[in-house]
């Protein structure tokens, strides 16, 4: 039993059904964080663990940033909740305006949600409603991508491309199609930044259109890089080609920027970094630096305008959440955007990219490493799976790194990294030194 398990042996771990967790294994040997500051978590048994994952891709400004803490504290004493339907509060309108100003040109409207999953389902519904409002109700097919992760709502798992997330939940939404993923070790292993090979994989969309006809397709949704599906960086020219094909066929392009929004790629959005403008962007996570749940969908003005018909007292979109634009989340988001600007964190991520890349690629040649990938402040180390137990080697690495004081994540046999944008060079060195040691001691 770990010291953490001993410290918390009085705690009843049973009633809580933990999400995306091996519950039985965890409850035998729990890992518990009790506080956090900046780059570091404190564990229940008093150890410091450096956050190599921004929590779960979300705490871009680091933990418990005083400005965010103060903003949320002040808000909770002022206005705890305002109804989201047929009512509002001033700061959510200000936040929408700020987001529209950060977004690529033309995406001037914002719909608020509470999570990435809700943002995705909202974006998909808006896409369907948009075509319907314009008299193209036959456009009902949604196109996702193999290895895509778009949260856990029924819309999100329909367009998602991870078998385990879909297989137990019935037929899902009808008519969905999937593009191939872009992962290819033969051509792209150990690429630095965007791989050179693979733009042509976007052409599969032409095949899907040829078979199904564009008039049946509402939208294509992709993550600019596939995060939870393995940290797959888009090949050079791939997103550009998707944009070109979707525009030519009147299909909406949705970028799921739940991870890439708010600085992860050294810009407000991956759309800005790659200079490819989609029709809708889904966000969450870094929007509040993970402090209070909030998501948002940013969309083109024309999409909003298409709904603004009929009698004025009529509701235009039958969709929304009790907590859309919650005052506490709104305060956290304003403070996060302030901190990102004041500390110039997006530019900081961009300037650290080369250091990050060099550091990560120094792990090439370590035992079991079959690929290293990086872009912005995202990294991945893919391990050769154990023949009899896929994913086990990476989970072993995750546990060893945690005990050695660094939090990483795993997806399949890939170790994923996405540190807060406040990370210092010496902390990058420490992450890599820890992983070098962990990799050297893996079976």
Ligand X SMILES: Cc1ncc(COP(=O)(O)O)c(C=O)c1O
- Rounded Cα–Cα distance for residues 275 and 233 (Å): 15
Asked if 225 is part of the footprint of ligand X (rule: CB under 6 A), the reply reads no
Asked if 116 is part of the footprint of ligand X (rule: CB under 6 A), the reply reads yes
**Tokens for 20?**
């995306």
Query: Which 56-95 positions form the footprint of ligand X (CB under 6 A)?
Result: 57
- Only one of the segments 97-105, 220-228, 347-355, 404-412 lies at the binding site for ligand X (rule: CB under 6 A); that segment is 220-228
**Tokens for 200?**
């042509």
Asked if 130 is part of the footprint of ligand X (rule: CB under 6 A), the reply reads no
Residue 383 parent element (H or E): strand 378-383
User: Which of 40, 111, 149, 262 lies at the binding interface for ligand X (CB under 6 A)?
Assistant: 149
Residues in the chain: 443
Residue 413 parent element (H or E): none
CA 248 to each of CA 69, 116, 133: distance values in angstroms, whole numbers, following the listed order: 46, 28, 20
- Only one of the segments 198-206, 252-260, 298-306, 358-366 lies at the binding site for ligand X (rule: CB under 6 A); that segment is 252-260
Q: Which residue, among 294, 150, 164, has the nearest Cα to 219 in the 3D structure?
A: 150
CA 373 to chain centre: 17
- Rounded Cα–Cα distance for residues 256 and 160 (Å): 11
Asked if 228 is part of the footprint of ligand X (rule: CB under 6 A), the reply reads yes
Q: Quick count: other Cβ atoms within 10 Å of Cβ 52?
A: 27
Asked if 150 is part of the footprint of ligand X (rule: CB under 6 A), the reply reads yes
User: Which of 5, 92, 120, 201 lies at the binding interface for ligand X (CB under 6 A)?
Assistant: 120
DSSP letters, 15-35, are S---TTS-HHHHHHS---EEE
Asked if 145 is part of the footprint of ligand X (rule: CB under 6 A), the reply reads no
- Only one of the segments 7-15, 111-119, 164-172, 398-406 lies at the binding site for ligand X (rule: CB under 6 A); that segment is 111-119
Helix/strand number for the chain, H first, E second: 17, 15
The CB-nearest residue to ligand X is 116
Asked if 158 is part of the footprint of ligand X (rule: CB under 6 A), the reply reads no
- Rounded Cα–Cα distance for residues 375 and 274 (Å): 11
- Only one of the segments 24-32, 148-156, 174-182, 324-332 lies at the binding site for ligand X (rule: CB under 6 A); that segment is 148-156
User: Which of 4, 51, 223, 427 lies at the binding interface for ligand X (CB under 6 A)?
Assistant: 223
Asked if 259 is part of the footprint of ligand X (rule: CB under 6 A), the reply reads yes
Asked if 284 is part of the footprint of ligand X (rule: CB under 6 A), the reply reads yes
- Shortest CB 118 distance to ligand X, Å: 7
**Residues that bind ligand X in the complex, under the rule CB under 6 A:** 57, 115-117, 120, 149-151, 223, 227-228, 256, 258-259, 284
């Amino acid at each position: 039993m770990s010291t953490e398990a001993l410290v918390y042996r009085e705690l009843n771990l049973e009633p809580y059904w933990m999400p995306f967790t091996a519950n039985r294994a965890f409850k035998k040997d729990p890992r518990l964080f009790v506080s956090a500051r900046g780059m570091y978590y404190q564990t229940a048994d008093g150890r410091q663990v450096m956050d190599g994952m921004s929590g779960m891709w979300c705490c871009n400004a680091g933990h418990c940033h005083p400005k965010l803490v103060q903003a949320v504290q002040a808000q909770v004493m002022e206005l705890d909740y305002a109804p989201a339907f047929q009512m509002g509060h001033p700061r959510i309108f200000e936040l929408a305006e700020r987001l529209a100003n950060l977004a690529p040109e033309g995406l001037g409207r914002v719909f608020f949600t509470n999570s990435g999953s809700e943002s995705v389902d909202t974006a998909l519904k808006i896409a369907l409603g948009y075509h319907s409002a314009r008299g193209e109700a036959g456009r009902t097919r949604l196109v996702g991508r193999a290895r895509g992760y778009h949260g856990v709502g029924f819309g999100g798992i329909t367009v998602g491309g991870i078998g385990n997330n879909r297989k137990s939940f019935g037929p899902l939404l009808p008519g969905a199609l999937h593009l191939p993923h872009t992962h290819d070790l033969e051509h792209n292993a150990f690429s630095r930044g965007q791989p050179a090979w693979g733009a042509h994989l976007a052409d599969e969309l032409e095949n899907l259109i040829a078979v199904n006809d564009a008039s049946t397709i509402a939208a294509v949704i992709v993550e600019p890089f596939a995060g939870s599906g393995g940290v797959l960086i888009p090949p050079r020219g791939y997103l550009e080609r998707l944009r070109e094909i979707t525009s030519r066929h009147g299909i909406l392009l949705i970028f799921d920027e739940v991870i890439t929004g708010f600085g992860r790629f050294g810009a407000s959005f991956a759309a800005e970094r790659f200079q490819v403008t989609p029709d809708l962007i889904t966000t969450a996570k870094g929007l509040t630096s993970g402090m209070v749940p909030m998501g948002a969908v940013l969309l083109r003005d024309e999409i909003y305008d298409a709904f603004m018909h009929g009698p004025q007292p009529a509701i235009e979109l039958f969709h929304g959440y009790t907590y859309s634009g919650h005052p506490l989340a709104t305060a956290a988001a304003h403070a996060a955007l302030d901190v990102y600007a004041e500390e110039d964190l997006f530019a900081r991520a961009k300037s650290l990219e080369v250091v990050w890349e060099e550091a990560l690629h120094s792990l090439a040649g370590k035992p079991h490493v079959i690929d290293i990938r990086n872009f912005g402040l995202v990294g991945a180390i893919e391990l050769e799976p154990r023949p009899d137990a896929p994913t086990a080697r990476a989970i072993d690495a995750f546990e060893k790194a945690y005990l050695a004081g660094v939090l990483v994540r795993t997806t399949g046999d890939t170790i994923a990294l996405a540190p807060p944008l406040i990370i210092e060079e010496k902390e990058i060195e420490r992450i890599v030194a820890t992983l070098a040691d962990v990799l050297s001691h893996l079976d």
